[in-house]
Structure 1
Amino acid sequence: MHSHWRCDNCGDVPPFHVAEHINAEIVGTVLRESSSAPERIPLWGPWPLPPGWTITGVGWAGDDRSGVRATALACSGPEPLGGGPADLVFIAEQPGVGLGTRFAGIPGIDPGYLLSEALAEHGAGCGPHAKIKVGGHPTPLWCVKSPEDRSAYVSEAKGMWLYAVAWPASAGYLLAEHVVLHDLSDGVPPELVFGAPSPYLHGRV
């Protein structure tokens, strides 16, 4: 007996947990879970929030034996090109977890091969597709191939994979603006605004 879930394509994967509701207290509970892991996993959240955006969900992958191995934070707000509502999920994970690839809609458990393809296709002399600040450091993001209904960006921060997955695909343009990701483990801003639960984080779309 073991606590892992079994994926037909990827094998054993850590179970994914999603909070049914979202508020500051629930975020604090997830942070306590992640801080008790052998290696603390950051919970990346945009701060300050882009105008009109709210925090709409939080989740984590892991079990009592291995601890938290990945975190996910969902946000919702106006689509940057004016086309309606948009959703973003930011994921931090250790190598070999597969949570980010699941949300990105890409095969496998690590995006290294897709990242190599993106770098080769974009050209060695060109810059990344987007740049944001993560934990106080300028961080490049590379767009990898994903289903047409979303856009998926991958990078590395604190020695772990960082994903930003956006619905619809055009919502990824938000990352071309001045986005700053703050590790909520270092403190949850009291001004954070929470909204209705994200359907993407809860798997209802």
Structure 2
Amino acid sequence: MALFDFAELSAKLSENLSIKEILSGNFSAFTAVLYLAISIAVYSIVIYHFYRYVARRDCFKPSMREHTKTIGFLKYFFLFPFVVIVFFLGFSIMLLFLAGGLGPEIVLSTSFAIILAIRICSYYTEDLSKDVAKMLPFALLGVFLVNPSYFELADIQNKINQLPELINVAVVYLIFLIIVEWILRIGLNIRYRIFPKKE
């Protein structure tokens, strides 16, 4: 038994095919598809740069000046906390959109866990950390494309309004992230002293 009747399908295709309608100049469907394609491309480009940066082991390029270690230390001491805040906000906002029924405290803790996992993986291999970092943003894009009604603006606004109540928890997470980053960096330096990098 055939899955479909080829003759009936061909008849329906020839019945619905209209050269006049094709040439009528009604491009409303094309405009919507073009808008969607451009939106996906822009989102993907932003995510591409975001996840590649968050997944790098060395967030700051090494300085070519003298006193490189001192400059590197100062960059990580003063600038890295701001970078962590941007990562944390980025993943929290993405999770607010993605996590339908989750409360804001779970969104914050999950964002923290994702960033921590990415940073730990970046000290193992940057390829793995890139895979982990791009997983969530592209999952969000997939959910939106399959089910645009999944995102309810009122629910997202409600969660955003609750976030200021969790500022103390967020600060603790950020401090912990910075401490873990320092531990990983110190561990990497110890490893390079014991097993020097091959030139």
- TM-score between the two structures when normalised by the length of structure 2: 0.24
Structure (1/2) with the larger strand percentage: 1
Greater radius of gyration (CA): 2
